[in-house]
Amino acid sequence: MFLARKDAQPAHMPDKNVLVEVVIPVYNEEVILEKSVTTLRNYLMEHFPYRWRITVANNASKDNTLEVAKRLEATYPDVRVFHLDQKGRGRALRAVWESSDADVVSYMDVDLSTNLQSFLPLVAPIITGHSDLAIGSRLAKGARVTRQWKREIISRIYNLIIKLFFWNNFTDAQCGFKAGRTSVIKELLPLVENQEWFFDSEVLLLAEEKGMRIYEVPVDWIEDLDSRVKIVKTASEDLKGLTRVRKQRKERRRHKVREVAKV
């Protein structure tokens, strides 16, 4: 794992042929979707030196989110819509990333809780070949976070449990601000079982198990008080996921030992 300065810039001349896809998974976000996409587009046009595309991944919204997304797609040539009939953030990301033709795939939460100035430092090390994946961290040194104490405690406990289970190097599995080389992501996706909130954690744990390089950017992050995350349900899902992944990892290790013993 590597830690990055939030104001870090690419140390090379940007390759204009590189395409970065930014996925925004949404469920019932008709109120803020247009404003968020507009804000993101303005940032990318003014500050991002690579080619880019915004994909709104609508997963089974029951309000007018899809209509808003289609209007944005019709207005801007660099915005597209990907619609799914089933819920699940992980399901939405998987569907878009599996079919992506971009060099780098990424995602961020629709509320833009993470400061967009962290986006270039997030993807730059992937583009330059220094890292395979990159994550925003609210728990790394240098991060500045504003959120309710209840969510802060839950987040820290969850990441502590991951550390106790796996002795991992990354500090924040759940921050909705991640990117990866598309070829690497496509290698990992067939191994990921979860389709919802644990998807992020599972991708990172599998990547680290395979020895992939994970770059970590301390971020400025402000909590969205209108978050769709259900704390109890998500926490239960995460704990079940961690237990499953730990068991599967042990099985793989035992299998490897048996295969070595046969030789």
Cα–Cα dist 177/4, whole Å: 14
Let me know if 85 is a catalytic residue: no
Q: For residue 172, what is the DSSP state? A: -
Residue 173 tokens read as: 């599995």
Residue 209 tokens read as: 């198990």
CB 1 within 8 A of CB 216: yes
Cα–Cα dist 68/198, whole Å: 28
Q: Which residues of 63-85 are buried (b: 16+ CB within 10 A; e: fewer)?
A: eebbebbbebbeeeeebbbbbbe
Q: Catalytic one among 132, 172, 200, 238?
A: 200
Please give the positions annotated as active site. 200
